[in-house]
Structure 1
Amino acid sequence: MNNKPINILIVDDSDLTRSSLTKLFSDYQCNIITSIDGLDGIQKSLTTKPDIILLDILMPNLDGIKMLQVIKIIDELKKIPVIVISGNSNKTNLFACLEAGADKVITKPIDEDTLIKSIEEFTKRKLSHKTKSNELIVDNTIDELKKIYIKAFPQKEIQINKAIAERDKYAVGNIFHELKGVSASMGFPEVTEISRMIELALNSEKIDWNYIKNQTDEIISLIERKTFSFDGD
């Protein structure tokens, strides 16, 4: 297997997901390019010619499905393998991704071993660790990812409270859909479960916004306790 560093393009509108994946790959011999939406992703693909693309589906401007459809008809890009990373595990979503041209769909929470093996499989290249012991790499990566998650949360809290105040069902749903997947990957199962319950509440015929606000406050309290725990280390 070729050991040349792999160029990986991450296309995701979530700064938290981009930061988390970038940190995850920082312990490997690879080059990371990031993009915030499908339109920017196509432009970055054309200018950087990545070896593989990691793609989110729900994004503004141009979503992941449309980006897939576009790059699969551009001669310069159509052979680049694409792995979709999605928080939506239903069969309709998986089929839509594969039909649009995805080589594989990985659902959140992301299993690092599965992701790394998939990248190696599709690029036929080896993702080599930088010179550290594997156990130290894993421990440090998990701790750093949690710190990134906690550091980014205050901005997410502002977005959540604004969306709830405006009774913006779509915005609230997108935020908690993202939190549900990312929190599981970061090792915050309580946040994942509350986010799942909020998603269910948003699907009710009559939305109980007081319930959603109370559940949001519970998540904020959980994150604050985690912040105190890390600050005390």
Structure 2
Amino acid sequence: MADQQPIVLIVDDEPLGRDSLESLLFNQGYALEFAANGAEALAKAAQVIPDIILLDVMMPDMDGFEVCRRLRDDPVLADVPVVLVTALDDRDSRLAGIEAGADDFVTKPFDRAELRTRVSTITRLNRFRRMLAERSKFEWVVEQAEDGYLITDEAGKIHYANHKARLYLGLPANNETPVEETFHQLIRKQYNAEPQSAWAIWPDESNTKTPRYLVRPESEASQPFWLQVSTLQLNASANPLVTVPWLVQLRDVTDQMAAKTDRWNFHAMLLHKFRTPLIPMVTGLDLLNQYIDDMPREEIRQIVSRALLGADRLQNSIEDVLRFIYLSSEMRVEKDFRMDKFRSLITQICHELEMENVKILLDERLETPDIILNLAGNSIELILRELLQNTKKFHPNHKPAVTVSVSPSRFSPAIVLQVADDGITLSSEQLAQVWTPYYQGEKYFTGESAGMGLGLSVVASTVWNAGGSARIYNQTPGPGVVVELTIPIIHAKQPATA
């Protein structure tokens, strides 16, 4: 609105009268519109919604008083300022104009400087009134919105926050209460900003495709809570009332993240439960197909017995998967994973994945039942399985040399888990995108392009849910990458750190 010229509608049945007002206001920064009678004036006003109408009183068919009354009866045009231009200077004419709804009067012949001043003042005030009305409408809409909305400056000072944003940030419900703390100070009180690489270039998001999240970790009293954060730079010059440049949207995506985690858990469990019993079945049938004519009866019986055992396990696995579909909430069990089980779990997974070249460096101070992680045992297993599978799946010859190291964090009650391989080296773009949900997931299965696998984004989100952190970087020197997870401890006799 501020970039557009104020519109002045001049209504006069006399061409001389229209020309006189045009010469007065020409080249004064106005867009001038004209009407020669009352009916044309009403039609033109509805078309252009002027900022002011200079309306001649003495016109045939429909005089200025009647035009003014009809304008006031129109809900769209009722607030448009009307200045009656009249040769009538008596008291009754002015009272008739006031009763019709006129805002001001100009008596012919008029003072040119005075009329210019009146038009300038009225258009400026009307534009300001309109902007206030538009702002009131905007605030009403955003106050009813399901998402949180903030208006901040570059430094994060909050100039406006709707009801939802105040709820998410723990602010008083009254929007009249000024917010002293910055946006970043407020979110640090209850959220973790993830992934950190995306937040490092705040507030602009044009240079990153990675979504920004605020994660309130799971606690004994509540489930994890996720907000997706988007920003839009406002054009301050387009509205003089808006003096700050950033609109921040806070959207609750907790359900979507939980669904994504359940989907990944389902995929991982499906792969594991189906593959294991299929091995003796396929291997046994292949042996029988090739050598049955030369096999002793007892050996055939043993092969068939193992295949039947595999089939029975497969049947049980299918039943388990069907139960999982309906009871996926069983994945969220009590946090009970003790660190004295960690080494045996990694060894078991490596054996199942047929990975022989895996070195385990586990700080002996952590191998104790006194240390319990803020993740369920099956979540730990799925995370380890996903990370180790990725090292094998994306290694050039599928025989990686892997080092799994676990040490106490130097900064908080937590463990630092690192899984390093000697496989591919990732580009900066791939490193920036690995936490994106299903990043090139389908292409990995079809072999069209390289990447970091379907479940890695959920590995990170699972750790973020627990209040931990996740990062990935290339080995130095290469080749290969390191995935590093910091997983909080919820109960421990904290080991001393070096």
Q: With the length of structure 1 as denominator, give the TM-score of the two structures.
A: 0.51
Higher helix content, 1 or 2: 1
Quote the offset at 1:27 in angstroms. 2.7
Equivalence for 1:111: 111
The one-letter code matched in structure 1 to 2:71 is I
Equivalence for 1:58: 58
Alpha carbons 1:8, 1:54 under 8 Å: kept: yes
Equivalence for 2:49: 49
Equivalence for 1:71: 71
The one-letter code matched in structure 1 to 2:104 is K
- In the TM superposition, what whole-angstrom CA distance separates every residue of 1:101-126 from its partner, at most 9, and x where no partner exists? 00001101111222122112222269
Whole-angstrom CA distance in 1 between matches of 2:111 and 2:104: 14
Equivalence for 1:7: 7
Whole-angstrom CA distance in 2 between matches of 1:18 and 1:121: 21
Secondary structure, in 3 states, of the residue corresponding to 2:27? coil
Equivalence for 1:23: 23
Quote the offset at 1:46 in angstroms. 0.4
Quote the offset at 1:3 in angstroms. 7.8
Give the CA RMSD over aligned residues: 1.7
What aligned pairs does 1:90-105 form with structure 2 within 5 A after superposition?
A: 90-105=90-105
- In the TM superposition, what whole-angstrom CA distance separates every residue of 1:110-147 from its partner, at most 9, and x where no partner exists? 11222122112222269xxxxxxxxxxxxxxxxxxxxx
Whole-angstrom CA distance in 2 between matches of 1:104 and 1:3: 27
Which one scores higher on RCO, CA 8 angstroms, separation ≥ 6? 1
Number of residues of Structure 1 aligned to a counterpart in Structure 2: 125
Whole-angstrom CA distance in 2 between matches of 1:104 and 1:88: 13
Quote the offset at 1:60 in angstroms. 1.4
- In the TM superposition, what whole-angstrom CA distance separates every residue of 1:16-66 from its partner, at most 9, and x where no partner exists? 010111122113111111101111100000011111000011111211000
Alpha carbons 2:5, 2:30 under 8 Å: kept: yes
Whole-angstrom CA distance in 2 between matches of 1:121 and 1:3: 18
Alpha carbons 2:81, 2:102 under 8 Å: kept: yes
What aligned pairs does 1:131-170 form with structure 2 within 5 A after superposition?
A: none
What aligned pairs does 1:132-211 form with structure 2 within 5 A after superposition?
A: none
The one-letter code matched in structure 2 to 1:104 is D
Alpha carbons 1:6, 1:125 under 8 Å: kept: no
5+ long unaligned stretches in structure 2:
127-498
The one-letter code matched in structure 1 to 2:124 is K
Whole-angstrom CA distance in 1 between matches of 2:33 and 2:117: 19
- In the TM superposition, what whole-angstrom CA distance separates every residue of 1:189-216 from its partner, at most 9, and x where no partner exists? xxxxxxxxxxxxxxxxxxxxxxxxxxxx
- In the TM superposition, what whole-angstrom CA distance separates every residue of 1:143-179 from its partner, at most 9, and x where no partner exists? xxxxxxxxxxxxxxxxxxxxxxxxxxxxxxxxxxxxx
5+ long unaligned stretches in structure 1:
127-233
Equivalence for 1:222: none
Secondary structure, in 3 states, of the residue corresponding to 2:114? helix
Whole-angstrom CA distance in 2 between matches of 1:26 and 1:118: 15
Quote the offset at 1:5 in angstroms. 1.9
From the CA coordinates, give the structure whose radius of gyration is larger.
Answer: 2
Alpha carbons 2:8, 2:32 under 8 Å: kept: yes
Secondary structure, in 3 states, of the residue corresponding to 2:76? coil
Equivalence for 1:163: none
Quote the offset at 1:70 in angstroms. 0.4
Whole-angstrom CA distance in 2 between matches of 1:99 and 1:114: 24
Equivalence for 1:83: 83
Whole-angstrom CA distance in 1 between matches of 2:125 and 2:6: 7
Whole-angstrom CA distance in 1 between matches of 2:83 and 2:114: 11
Equivalence for 1:122: 122
The one-letter code matched in structure 1 to 2:42 is I
Whole-angstrom CA distance in 1 between matches of 2:91 and 2:125: 30
Alpha carbons 2:24, 2:116 under 8 Å: kept: no
- Shift >4 Å, 4+ stretches: none
Of 22-31 and 70-79, more deviation after overlay is shown by 22-31
